[in-house]
Each structure stands twice: as structure tokens, then as C-alpha cells.
Amino acid sequence: MVAARALRPGSRWLVGITAMALAFLLAPVGPARAAGGGDIPVPATTFKDKGTGAVTAADRDFVIKVRLAGLWEIPASNMAIDKSDDPRVVNIGKSISQQHVVLDQLDRDVAKKLGIDLPNQPNSDQQFWLSEMKNAATPAAFDQIYIDRLRAAHGKIFPAIATIRASTRNDSVRQLAQQANQFVMTHMTLLESSGIVDYGSLPTAPAPAAANAGPVPVDGQMIRAASSNTGGIPGVNTTVILIVLAAALVAGVITTMRIFRAR
């Protein structure tokens, strides 16, 4: 209390500014929430979505794959509601079924805009998975098949979404990829919340081509890409930079306070 009273008005002002600056520098940064909230993970987008831009064979294939996903995951999730004895699996089935209805409508809107013909029946693999679930001997056996088949399928479509999101020239397909990515991430998290995913059965990711980041061409020259945790400065962690800035700020304030006292 004595030290606080001894501070002059100018010094108190500087201390307050310092505290706010430190709080800003060291505060954790949280991820942005999807627009709309609730149970339907449709993210906000800034794309024009006018169907502008060339449509490639890969774009058409992606729109068809999104449709196929809904054609089997909706009935599979409805089966989960009826056949499972596990409340977690029942709730997962409800959420995924409702969300795929929304995603399917988004997909059909894009297909209509771009003149893409969509299937009305699941493919042969998907029909086989549905028959597995339908013929499961027990509710527990059904749960394992349902969770594992959907989790594996969502893992496979992730690379397809990333490829289209990064490469498509069409604004409607780009928006659909953005939306589908959020749905898939949400569904993977829901499926894993069951606690019964057989991670050992998931496919192994291919080995990276090289241990370090490859060269990136910029204006005809080759530069090395900085690692993801350096903030653009190789070998320097972002946290270290913040600590150094905070320390420099404190040192500057202390020096300024001494000048005020001397005056």
C-alpha cells in the first residue's frame, strides 16, 4: 500500500498501460467459432458462390462424393437411433443424420447451379456397409460397425476436401469444400466421442517425402519455407518472441518511471 501511494499520477498511468499491454501480448488466442452456432456446423464464408470459374473433373467428382456420403450416412445414422442401446451412439446418430441433411442440400444446390448430375443410390461399398449394420447380431456389434465405418470414411474424404479447397477455380465448389470440411471435422469428433473407435484399423499415413520443408519458388528464386511454429523466423519460437517483447516493455516503463521521479 505504501509503495502504491508513493507513485505519482504519471507513474500510475504508465503502470496501467504496461499491465494492459502485457495482458494483450500474453493472452492465449482461441479459435474462431463457426457462424450460427448450434448443432449445424456451417461456417461463415466470404465467397461469391455464383458458380463462377472453370469446373474440373475433380470438382465434379468432389460434388458427387459429398452426395454419396449423405446417401449412406443418413440411413446409417438413422439405424443408430433405432438399433443402438448406447445413449452416446444414439445421440451421435441423431446429430450426424441431421447435419448430413443440411450438407446434402448445400451439395444439391451447387450441383444444380453447375449442371452436375448426382446419384440417388449409395455405391456398392456403401451398400455393403449398410447391410453389415442391418445384419449386426447385437446392439454392441452394430455400434462398433457404425462407428468404425463412418470414422474410416470421414478420414478418407479429408484429403479430397483439402485438394479441392486448395485448387478449385470455381467459387461455388470452393465454398462447398469449406463447408464440407467443417462438417467432416465435426463428425469425426462426434464419432470419437463414443470411446469405441478402433484406431488400430485406420489406414497408416504415407511417409513424408522429406524431413524438412521443401524449397518454395518466389519471383524466380528459391527460398526455404519457415517451420510452422516460428512465426516466419527459423529457429525462434513465437512464445519466446512475446516474452522478449514483454521484457523490453517492462524495462522501458521502469526507465521512464525513474526519469519522472528524478524530475
Do 238 and 136 reside in the same domain of the chain?
Answer: no
Q: Which of these, 161, 187, 166, 179, lies nearest to 46 by C-alpha position?
A: 179
Do 177 and 123 reside in the same domain of the chain?
Answer: yes
Per-state percent for the chain, helix, strand, coil, to nearest 5? 65, 5, 35
Domain harbouring 88, CATH code: 1.20.1260.10
Do 65 and 119 reside in the same domain of the chain?
Answer: yes
Q: Give the Cα separation of 205 and 207 in Å (integer).
A: 6
Task: Assess if residue 34 is contained within a domain.
Answer: no
Residue 94 pLDDT more than 80?
Answer: yes
Task: Assess if residue 49 is contained within a domain.
Answer: no
Do 131 and 248 reside in the same domain of the chain?
Answer: no
Do 191 and 229 reside in the same domain of the chain?
Answer: no
Do 117 and 239 reside in the same domain of the chain?
Answer: no
Task: Assess if residue 212 is contained within a domain.
Answer: no
pLDDT band, very low/low/confident/very high, at 38 (cuts 50, 70, 90): very low
Do 109 and 8 reside in the same domain of the chain?
Answer: no
Do 17 and 144 reside in the same domain of the chain?
Answer: no
For the ranges 1-5, 78-82, 192-196, which has the lowest average pLDDT? 1-5
Q: Give the Cα separation of 111 and 126 in Å (integer).
A: 21
Helix (H) / strand (E) containing 92: helix 87-114
Do 229 and 108 reside in the same domain of the chain?
Answer: no
Residue 34 pLDDT more than 60?
Answer: no
Q: So what's the pLDDT on residue 50?
A: 78
Q: Determine phi and psi for 53, rounding to 5 degrees.
A: 110, 155
Number of domains in the chain: 2
Domain of 129, in residue numbers: 57-201
Contact 102, 40 (CB under 8 A): yes
Query: Mean of the per-residue pLDDT values for the chain?
Result: 79
Express each pLDDT in 199-244 by its tens digit. Answer: 998 888 888 876 565 555 544 454 444 444 444 444 445 565 666 6
